[in-house]
Amino acid sequence: MRSRTPRPVWPAVLAVVAATTLTATAAAAAPVHPHLAPSSTAVDAPDIPLANVKTHLTQFQSIANTNGGNRAHGRPGYLASVNYLRSQLDAVGYTTTVQSFTYAGATGYNLLAEWPAGDPDAVVLTGAHLDSVTSGPGINDNGSGSAAILEVALAVPRSGFTPDKRLRFAWWGAEELGLRGSRHYVNSLSGAERDRIQQYLNFDMVGSPNAGYFVYDGDDSDGVGAGPGPEGSAEIEQTIQAYYTSIGVTTQGTDFDGRSDYGPFIAVGIPAGGTFTGAEGIKSSAQAALWGGTAGQAFDSCYHRSCDTTANVNDTALDRNTDAIAYTVWELAQTSPPPGDTVWSDTFETATGWVVDPAGTDTATTGAWERGDPATTSSSGTTLQLGTTVSGSFDLVTGAAAGSSAGSHDVDGGVTTIQSPAVSLPSTGALTLSFSWYLAHLSNATSADYLRVRVVGSSTVTALSVTGTASNRAGAWQTTSTDISSLSGQTVHILIDVADASNPSLVEAGVDDVRIAEG
């Protein structure tokens, strides 16, 4: 965390639970949290192993020990830290990018890692600064945040989580010199790229030895300090607080005071939030009563000093914060199903009467739609057909088998169509069609290639129409919903067609979890 003049910590309590006075010994010995009760979203976050996070901290300490005692901007220990993280992420399937910048005559680096699933136009970005100051190894500041978000990132493939939104993780350089890395990243984004980032989560110092439990005050509910974050920041704050409430820990608000890497994001209107366990500020008696620890001492007495080593980390705080990060990422990355009573649905786990080429006019020579257990295909480093479904083992897919190459069973030669069984819609009330989908292709695709979903009765409602472009587009599950109330009282069919309709190109598509809801 970047240096600044010490400030008071706002005492307003934002989430109050049953009061229990913890001694320092009891707080240090607190057990790992129990698994949460099922949330309102489809998949619950895993419990992140503390031992795994501490393994990464040990690695950061070793890197500092062999590189002059620090991991600072422009020093070899920083680049070694980047390379360690990147090797971990590459090994499990992340797409990683190292972005370089120059500050104070030295080259700095940001590391970006993206999980190849979820809507690329709806990004949940989770970040932490990776650099230390020159005076020490920076294990709490900010090896703790860096290690925590790394282990959360690794838990995505390990748990089999399929997010609805795109997950991106970032480790920023030169934060200690004025948020240089995150500022460079935000300034490098186009307007459209900024708009795709729906939330930014920042974790800077999450294992302070005399820990507090602070959550960035997204809605300025404490009424003091820097004011609220951009619209949407309150949702992040409330999500984090929901986790802490579930484990019986009281949190307090901390302001967006420009001290960490959320600064460049909120400056351009991107909602932000995160947690913080305290730096050089002094813990009050009231805070010690809430959280344990020692009143009258700094939250981190080794802040920006050589003693910020692996011995300078509170395991309980680190464990709780890492699980809070996972909970928040999982919650924000999932799209709640549309409200209302289900009129009709299909997850494709059993055959329900979908018909291929219902009008006898299809022209595709391979890759016809089928209900199948899909195999993964890829070409030129781009995943085309997804081997994972949204739920269960089956979906609608354009040729489920992998074959000897990615082009063995993709759509070729024209259009393939599949039609649902007849669905009788109620005559009153609002009606919504929702489903998950993907369209994937390589750069030889054109706008004549497409995926289209329509609901056909006496009239037709187009629920989705996506065309190809001359670029590699990896398969990634996305969700959409459409108002079909204009078809109320009719018997309708859902018609899905996909085309490789111009130059021969690698085109794949999938559809899963189709639902019509009333209300």
Domains defined for the chain, CATH in brackets: 13-32+44-332 (3.40.630.10), 341-518 (2.60.120.200)
- What is the pLDDT averaged over residues 293-307? 98
Q: Which residues are CB-neighbours of 439 under 8 A, at least 6 positions away?
A: 450, 451, 466, 468, 473, 475, 498, 507, 508, 509
Q: How far is CA 331 from CA 225, 460, 478, in A?
A: 28, 35, 16
99 close to 180: Cβ distance less than 8 angstroms = no
Query: According to the model, what pLDDT value does residue 34 have?
Result: 30
Query: Which pair of tokens denotes residue 349?
Result: 């786990």
Measure the CA–CA gap between 159 and 54, rounded to whole angstroms.
Answer: 20
Which of 163-172, 352-361, 377-386, 395-404 has the lowest average pLDDT? 377-386
Q: What is the pLDDT of residues 462-485, one digit of tens each?
A: 999 999 888 888 888 888 889 999
- Among 308, 14, 16, 5, smallest CA distance to 134 is for 308
Asked if residues 108 and 174 have their Cβ atoms less than 8 Å apart, the reply is yes
Distance separating alpha carbons of residues 289 and 81, to the nearest angstrom: 37
User: Beta strand 414-419 with 395-398: parallel, antiparallel or unpaired?
Assistant: unpaired
Distance, in Å, from the CA atom of 34 to the CA atom of 249, rounded to the nearest integer, reads: 13
> What pLDDT shows up at residue 33?
30
Residue 208, beta-bridge partner list: none
What length is written for the chain? 519
The per-residue b/e assignment along 325-349, b for 16 or more CB within 10 angstroms, e otherwise, is bbbbbbbbbbbebbebeebbebbbe
Assign residue 188 a region (left: φ > 0; alpha: ψ between -120 and 50; beta: otherwise): alpha
Residue whose entry in the numeric block shows the structure tokens 């919650």: 331
According to DSSP, the residues that pair with 196 across neighbouring strands are: none
Confidence band, pLDDT 50/70/90 cuts, at residue 383? confident
pLDDT for the residue numbered 36: 34
Residue type for 488, please?
S
Element of type H or E holding 425: none
pLDDT greater at residue 390 or residue 174: 174
- Please, what's the b/e burial string for 166-186 (b: 16 or more CB within 10 A of its CB; e: otherwise)? bbbbbbbbbbbbebbbbbbbb
CA dist., res. 39 & res. 238, Å (int)? 14
Question: Mapping DSSP to helix (H, G, I), strand (E, B) and coil, where does residue 240 land?
Answer: helix
Rounded distance, CA 10 to CA 18, Å? 21
Q: What is the pLDDT of residue 147?
A: 98
Closest CA to 391 of 321, 329, 461, 334: 334
pLDDT in tens, 198-239: 999 999 999 999 999 999 987 555 544 455 568 778 889 989
pLDDT-derived band at 337 (thresholds 50, 70, 90) equals low
What would the two tokens of residue 210 be? 């005399």
The whole-angstrom separation of Cα 5 and Cα 360 is 74
Q: Name the residue type at position 336.
A: S
Share of the chain above pLDDT 90, in %: 72
Q: How far apart are CA 394 and CA 348, in angstroms?
A: 6
**For residue 349, what pLDDT is reported?**
92
Q: What is the pLDDT of residues 154-185, one digit of tens each?
A: 999 999 898 999 999 999 999 999 999 999 99
pLDDT tens string 36-93:
333 333 578 999 999 999 999 999 999 999 999 999 999 999 999 999 999 999 999 9
pLDDT of residue 310: 98
In the predicted model, is pLDDT for residue 31 greater than 50?
A: no
Q: What is the pLDDT of residues 108-149, one digit of tens each?
A: 999 999 999 999 989 999 999 999 999 999 999 999 999 999
> What tens digit of pLDDT does each residue of 485-514 get?
999 999 999 999 999 986 778 899 999 999
Token readout for 421 is 């069984």
Other CB atoms within 10 Å distance of the CB of residue 48: 24
The pLDDT, as a whole number, for residue 420 is 97
Round to whole Å and give the CA distance between 157 and 241. Answer: 26
Closest CA to 154 of 272, 51, 242, 247: 51
| CB 286 within 8 Å of CB 250 | no
Please state whether the predicted TM-score (pTM) of the whole model is above 0.75: no
* Mean of per-residue pLDDT scores for the chain: 88
Q: Which of the residues are catalytic?
A: 175
Question: CA 36 from chain center: how many Å?
Answer: 19
Structure-token match 């110092």, residue found: 205
